[in-house]
Amino acid sequence: MAKYKKCPRCELNYIKQEEEMCDVCKAELGMDSNIVLLDDIIDDDEPLKLCPVCKAAYIGMDEDMCENCLAQEERNSENEDNDDWRSYLDDEDTKDTDEIPLEALGAEEEDFDDDDFEDEENPEIEDDFDDEFIDAKDLDDFDDEEDEEDDEN
Q: Where are the domains of the chain?
A: 1-41, 44-79
Q: Which among 73, 40, 75 has a CA at the least distance from the CA of 58?
A: 40
Note the pLDDT of residue 48. 83
Spell out a b/e string for 57-82, using b for 16 or more CB atoms within 10 Å of the CB, else e.
eebeeeeebbeebeeeeeeeeeeeee
Q: What is each CA distance from 65 to 46, 72, 91, in whole angstroms?
A: 16, 11, 38
Note the pLDDT of residue 46. 73
Residue 9: pLDDT over 90: yes
Neighbours of 33 (CB within 10 A): 17
> What is the Cα–Cα distance from 75 to 67, expressed in whole angstroms?
12
Spatial CB neighbours of 70, under 8 Å, sequence gap ≥ 6:
64
- Comparing 106 with 12, the larger pLDDT belongs to 12
pLDDT band at 21 (very low <50, low <70, confident <90, very high): very high
> What is the Cα–Cα distance from 53 to 41, expressed in whole angstroms?
21
Residue 113: pLDDT over 70: no
Note the pLDDT of residue 79. 72
Average pLDDT along the chain = 73
